[in-house]
Structure 1
Amino acid sequence: MNPSRRSFIKKTTALSAAASLSSLPFSLLGNTQINPIKIGIIGLDTSHAPAFTKLFNAENPKPELAGFRVVAAYPYGSRDIKSSMDRIPGYIDQVKEQGVEIVDSIEALLQKVDVVLLETNDGKPHLEQARAVFKAKKPVFIDKPVAVSFADAVKIYQEAEAAGVPMFSCSSLRYQKNVHAVRHENKVGKVLACDAFSPATLEPSHPDLFWYGIHGVEILFTAMGPGCESVTRFSTPDAEVVVGTWKDGRIGTFRGMLSGKHDYGGTAFGTDGNLFFGPFEGYEPLVVQIAEFFRTKKSPIDSRETLEIYAFMEAADESKRRGGAKVNLEVPM
């Protein structure tokens, strides 16, 4: 065979191979999906929005996060909580650097995406925003707080179920390594008690613990599991302390720190020993769970447990109003 003929065959073979590879759903070289699941973000008033975007849109994401792309974001978000509003312009710039398109309405966003991260830091508009997502039939993760009241939280879950739309909500602290291990890996045997703590900055427009105390309360419930039947709250100038009694007699406590610099953590006490939680390990463990949820359309958390967390926090407020009286939890659904 003459050299020119041999060269022609090699080039033809290479082109054919390239064409075959291009027909695959994944690029073998870049390990990125050609048709990713398109994610939209509602709310750029929280650090979670750029942090989650950075994980999903990384050039070489973790295998668990491959096949996704945050493509669009609607910035609002709070319009009356200054600490949230002031962050929006900077977070717009950060997500735009990750290739995210900024849109001027939730409706415009929903036309461009397959799934939604409802990241609005302010819980007040969550019910209205979630209803738009449910109407569009898009699976949604709703970041904390799920709503600005227990009643709205119940409505969101009921309306998601009625619309047949998969959703879940939680704090990232649920998926800290040791917290998750106590619940899912039997790390301390049967959990007998748990003391959890976190910062608990207050925001006047939200029930006390909804705004930031949710993080430590989520740690408590991840360790103890559902089944709390009553709470009693004690307030000091530096902390809010809530004591919960579970139906089987176990006691769990949450200490929300109001002043000073504090991390997130606690201790689980079990039949096989104790385990300390903390410090904060970042958002990646939660984002991995969100990715799996978007793939499977199955919530990793029972809705009733999440609603019990909000009932616990609202009952804690009621106990405070009653001067520390015991308040029973009531969880519908």
Structure 2
Amino acid sequence: MTPVAPIRFGLIGVDSPHAPSFTRLFGNGSDGVVPGGTVTHAWKGEPASDFPLSRDRIDAFTDEVSGLGVTLCGSPEEVAEACDALLIVSSDARTHPRYFERVVRFGKPVYVDTRFAPTLAEARTMLAQAQASGTLVLAGSPKRFTPEFQAALTGGPYHSASLDGPLPTQPGHPGLAWYGVHLVDLAVAALGAGPETVTVDAGRPGTPGGATTVRVQWGDGREVAMTGEAAWSPFTMGRIESEGGCSEFSIEAGPPMLVGLLEGIVNSVRSGIPNVPLREILSIVAIVEAANKSLEAGRPVPLSPN
């Protein structure tokens, strides 16, 4: 039997710790923690002056990725030409629609890391571009693919969930747009796409010591409550309830948390099946956008259908 060649992945934007972590976990494609893929090329990206996490870390991460044997390219298009699949891992979500547009025409699978797009309109445009070019779209928070969370999804169908995790913000990423998106992803993974209303009924994320609760309601009465504080911590916990009982989970952030995501990406590229249903991608973006509007307006915000 002829060995299957590892998938050659290319990084688009390396101002995130996921860039070197993904590279290390894949290794050479055969004996890494996650076999089946290897990172061969990368494009540094364009950091925004108003986003310190990008501006102040991109050079160090670029050197780290290069030191791991990855070839640096002068453009995302050059990476797309050299690779089998692409990983948009830039930390600034505002760059994702623009970077996606530059590489989607190559028709190669594209993973967009955690924060798919800042707005529902941009997400819809990205998915339309992918459909036009026959591009497989991959997405999702790494927390969704952890064994801890997956083990909690063995019952179902679920009617409610309570999730707790950090809700810090960053410039240009208000409300749930920075870290809260992880909780939103878990909520949609558990209860599905198509929620109808979002309400923020506590303190504002980013306020020192301010805890926040975000409630997401589905039309049939299902509900998720997401709670967190402005200070970051590595732990995300939850309780998911169904008619048959409840399950609990706890996830700790760190490189091992990324393994399930990368294994799923390899499987999706091989099979051509999205790792996250497209309707769920849209629901996640819509919830984040509506939650930020609810924070500003101080009232429940209806979600646009997707």
Tell me the TM-score normalised to structure 2 length. 0.90
Residue deviations 1:59-103 (CA, integer Å, cap 9, x gap): 6125xx433221111111533211222222222222223211111
Distance in 2 between residues matched to 1:260 and 1:48, nearest whole Å: 17
Distance in 1 between residues matched to 2:281 and 2:107, nearest whole Å: 21
2:40 corresponds to: 71
1:128 corresponds to: 98
Distance in 2 between residues matched to 1:201 and 1:284, nearest whole Å: 24
Structure 2 unmatched ranges of 5 or more: none
2:185 corresponds to: 218
Distance in 2 between residues matched to 1:192 and 1:269, nearest whole Å: 6
Contact 1:304–1:331 under 8 Å retained in 2: no
Listed as ranges, the matches of 1:233-244 within 5 Å are 233-236=200-203, 237=207, 238-244=210-216
Distance in 2 between residues matched to 1:90 and 1:117, nearest whole Å: 19
Task: Return the offset for 1:176.
Answer: 2.2
For the pair 1:290 / 2:265, whether they are aligned, the reply is: yes
2:113 to 117, 131, 143: 143
Distance in 2 between residues matched to 1:220 and 1:130, nearest whole Å: 25
Contact 2:200–2:291 under 8 Å retained in 1: yes
Residue identity over aligned pairs, in percent, reads: 29
Task: Return the offset for 1:25.
Answer: 3.7
Listed as ranges, the matches of 1:135-284 within 5 Å are 135-183=105-153, 185-186=154-155, 189-236=156-203, 237=207, 238-259=210-231, 261=233, 263-280=235-252, 282-284=257-259
Distance in 1 between residues matched to 2:159 and 2:78, nearest whole Å: 49
User: Which amino acid in the other structure matches residue 111 of structure 1?
Assistant: E
For the pair 1:330 / 2:299, whether they are aligned, the reply is: no
1:60 corresponds to: 31
Distance in 1 between residues matched to 2:261 and 2:38, nearest whole Å: 16
Higher RCO (CA 8 Å, separation ≥ 6 residues): 2
Residue deviations 1:215-270 (CA, integer Å, cap 9, x gap): 11112222222231111112324122111111211221111321364621211122
Listed as ranges, the matches of 1:20-59 within 5 Å are 25-26=2-3, 35-58=5-28
2:290 corresponds to: 315
SS across alignment from 1:71: strand
Moved over 6 A (4+): none
SS across alignment from 1:83: helix
Task: Return the offset for 1:166.
Answer: 0.6
Distance in 1 between residues matched to 2:265 and 2:279, nearest whole Å: 19
Structure 1 unmatched ranges of 5 or more: 1-23, 27-32
Contact 1:150–1:307 under 8 Å retained in 2: yes
Contact 2:143–2:251 under 8 Å retained in 1: no
**When the two structures are aligned, how many residues end up with a matched partner?**
296
Task: Return the offset for 1:108.
Answer: 1.8
Gap change, CA 1:77 and 1:266, over 3 Å in 2: farther
SS across alignment from 2:246: strand
Distance in 2 between residues matched to 1:263 and 1:309, nearest whole Å: 20
Task: Return the offset for 1:129.
Answer: 1.0
Structure (1 or 2) with the larger CA radius of gyration: 1
